[in-house]
Amino acid sequence: MIKKILIANRGEIAVRIARACAEMGLRSVAIFSEADRFSLHVKKADEAYCIGSEDLAGYLNPHRIVNLAIETGCDAIHPGYGFLSENPELARICTLRGVRFIGPDARVIRLMGDKTEARRAMMQAGVPVTPGSAGNVENLDEALKEAERIGYPIMLKATSGGGGRGIRRCNDKKELKANYERVISEATKAFGSADVFIEKCIVNPRHIEVQILADRHGNVAHLFERDCSIQRRNQKLIEIAPSPQLTPEQRACIGELAVRAARAVNYENAGTVEFLLTAQGEFYFMEMNTRIQVEHTITEEITGIDIVKEQICIAEGQPLSFTQEEVQPRGYAIQFRINVEDPKNDFLPSFGRLTRYYAPGGPGVRTDTAIYTGYEIPPHYDSMVAKVIVWGRTWAETVARGQRALNDMMIGGVRTTIPFYQEILDHPDFQAGRFDTGFLAAHPELTHYSLKRSPEETTLAIAAAIAAHVGF
């Protein structure tokens, strides 16, 4: 049995994993860079160790992380999401050193991380994939020929890409020529690989993904779908479970496809199968993420299943704690990624010291974060600092609860995406459950909101006015 887990991550997901460990009676070990010394995840774990002064190097060094796990008596490593979570080398080293990796094995991570290989595996399993190149395109000339065969618009994608990086839409030959070297450069820097391939661009689809869990005893189950269509430049912002846009027949179909995809590669542990849903009602496999997702929270809210705990139990060799028939979605849940960005200034990052932080509460409201009043948000990592999750019995109740929760939340000292999300929730199309991946691009007016002054800003403005008057 697992007794002690090293959390190979930072921030809110590290806090989330530490909390699961505490409930299961397991000890947790956090790692942190100097920039993260005062992050909440350092305080929530039972033990914490500095992995160096460099902002990223420690989090990206699999040998050092496994060595630290062994030195501190850990028998398992949970990678969270991002960083090394989909790096097959970490899983491979864990196996060699006798440390359990809480995730799929290195072979599956490598297979599904290579998008062209993943496409082949899905086609063999009878899972529909987006029309595209048979494999990687070797040069610009081949890319141009494939694009002509497939038909514009096309998506030029990095084979090892993810998180919205290494991907460009090309509407014609001119744009493909302009973007080809850019995508290769971005892919090489971000993923260490220059391989790219081409897919047909499905214009303004719905982005639907399915959470699956699988154990080593052959049990595979899906926990229904999440709608991730509210996104900007391929970056998810708001996620919903289940999708208010699917019929019961579509829900059954996509769940079966996700289970089929997992079985095809002998998957084990938690994973997410992502699909595009066309306006004509066709599902196309996009990719499989071999880790826990940022948005796993909303699946937990509608099913009552703790996905992190299930991950740990699966890594111990236990069977799933439920059957497919026992999983039934209840109500709706929405997750808002609270980013320190200024939507009124082209989403420019807004890192700095938090002068005030207040998390929303009340029925059906959950906040996952690693920040607090006085915390200095480091500029070296992702701009997401919190996740606000709301649950309601109906779609209308869930939207209203989201409006109330975001209005309750207070983050001072930096700009955030909160007012932008409030505008989205007020939009009649969103309230009616009508949206696709082109929603934000079609509504640029959503960033034209008026900012409310925080109490600190109001006090400073009054003080400045008094000082100016006295001075005059």
The CATH number of whichever domain residue 223 belongs to comes to 3.30.470.20
Last residue of a domain, one of 200, 219, 250: 200
Do 325 and 245 fall within a single domain?
yes
What's the confidence (pLDDT) of residue 362? 97
Residue 33: CATH number of its domain: 3.40.50.20
At position 373, the amino acid (one-letter code) is T
DSSP three-state, residue 174: helix
> Annotated catalytic residue: which of 291, 337, 366, 401?
291
Domain assignment present for residue 62? The answer is yes
> What is the distance between the alpha carbons of residues 292 and 65, in angstroms, rounded to a whole number?
19
Task: For residue range 203-212, list pLDDT tens digits in order.
Answer: 999 999 999 9
Task: Mark whether 196 and 214 lie in a shared domain.
Answer: no
The predicted structure's pLDDT at residue 467: 61
Does residue 291 carry a catalytic annotation?
A: yes
| Structure confidence at residue 192 (pLDDT) | 82
In a domain, 114, yes or no: no
Q: What is the pLDDT of residue 453?
A: 57
Could you write out the DSSP letters of every residue in 338-355? EESEEGGGTTEE--SB-S
Q: Is 470 inside any structural domain? A: no
- In this prediction the pTM is 0.91
186 contacts: CB under 8 Å, gap ≥ 6: 158, 165, 166
Residue 256 in any domain: the answer is yes
Any domain includes 460: no
Which positions of the chain have pLDDT values less than 70? 163, 452-472
Does one domain contain both 264 and 191? no
Residues 329 and 395 occupy one common structural domain: yes
User: For residue 346, what are the domain limits?
Assistant: 210-447
**Domain edge (last residue) among 81, 102, 123:** 102
Q: Are 238 and 352 found together in one domain?
A: yes
3-state secondary structure of 145: helix
Q: Looking at 213-354, list the stretches that DSSP marks H as alpha helix, in order from N- to C-terminal side.
A: 248-264, 296-303, 307-315
**Count of structural domains within the chain:** 3
Domain annotation covers residue 349: yes
Whether residues 57 and 93 share a domain: the answer is yes
- Predicted pLDDT of residue 189: 84
Question: Which of 93, 98, 83 is CA-nearest to residue 7?
Answer: 83
34 lies in a domain?
yes
How much is the pLDDT for 452?
A: 66
Amino acid 165: pLDDT: 78
- DSSP string spanning 40-108? HHHHHSSEEEE--SSSSGGGG-HHHHHHHHHHTT-SEEE--SSTTTT-HHHHHHHHHHT-EESS--HHH
Give yes or no: residues 228 and 184 share one domain. Answer: no
Residue range 408-420, pLDDT digits in tens: 999 999 999 999 9
Same domain assignment for residues 318 and 264: yes
Asked if residue 42 and residue 156 are part of one domain, the reply reads no
Is residue 149 in a domain?
A: yes
pLDDT at residue number 85: 97
